[in-house]
Structure 1
Amino acid sequence: PMGGAVSIEDEPPLLEELGIDFSKIYQKTVSVLNPMVKVTEEMMYTRNHEGKLEPDNDLAGPILIALMLGASMMLRGKLQFGSIYGLGVVGCTSLWLVMTLMSKRGIDIYQTASILGYCLLPMVLLAFFSVFFSATGPVMTLLASGVVGWCSWRSSDMFTISMEAHNEKVLIAYPVALFYAGFALLAVF
Structure 2
Amino acid sequence: MTKEFNVPPVVFPASGNPPVGNLQQRRVPTAPFQPPRSSGSSIPFMSFVIGAATTTSSNIYGGPIGGGGGPSGSASFEDEEPLLDELGIHPDQIWKKTKAILNPLRVNPAVHKDSDLSGPIILYLSLCLFQLLAGKIQFGVILGWIVVSSIFLYVVFNMLAGRNGKLDLHTCTSVVGYCLLPVVILSAASLFLPQGSSGRFIIAGIFVLWATRACTGLMVALADGEEEHRGLIAYACFLIYTLFSLLVIF
- 1:172 aligned to 213, 225, 233, which one? 233
1:76 equivalent to 2:134? Answer yes
**TM-fit CA distance, 1:36:** 4.2
Structure 1: any 5+ residue segments left out of the alignment?
A: 46-55
**TM-fit CA distance, 1:111:** 0.9
Alignment of 1:120-159 (within 5 A): 120-159=180-219
Query: Over aligned residues, Cα RMSD in angstroms?
Result: 1.9
- 1:27 aligned to 81, 91, 96, which one? 96
8 A contact 1:32–1:154 mirrored in 2: yes
Q: Alpha-carbon deviations, 1:34-72, whole Å to 9, x = none? A: 2244423x2122xxxxxxxxxx22100100001100111
Q: Which structure has the higher relative contact order (CA within 8 Å, separation 6+)?
A: 1
Which segment drifts farther, 128-137 or 79-88? Answer: 128-137
**TM-fit CA distance, 1:100:** 2.0
When residues 135 and 173 of structure 1 are mapped into structure 2, their CA distance, relative to the original with a 3 A threshold, is farther
Instruction: Look at both structures and tell me which one has the larger radius of gyration over its CA atoms.
Output: 2
Paired residue secondary structure (2:186): helix
**Aligned position for 1:106:** 166
Work out the percentage of aligned pairs sharing the same amino acid. 36
8 A contact 1:44–1:161 mirrored in 2: no
**Aligned position for 1:186:** 247
Q: How many residues align?
A: 174
- 1:67 aligned to 120, 125, 129, which one? 125
Following the alignment from structure 2 to structure 1, what is the Cα–Cα distance between the partners of residues 107 and 190? Answer: 29
Following the alignment from structure 1 to structure 2, what is the Cα–Cα distance between the partners of residues 156 and 18? Answer: 29
Q: Which amino acid aligns with 1:84?
A: I
Between structures 1 and 2, the one with greater helix share: 1
When residues 17 and 108 of structure 1 are mapped into structure 2, their CA distance, relative to the original with a 3 A threshold, is farther
8 A contact 1:28–1:43 mirrored in 2: yes
**Aligned position for 1:90:** 148
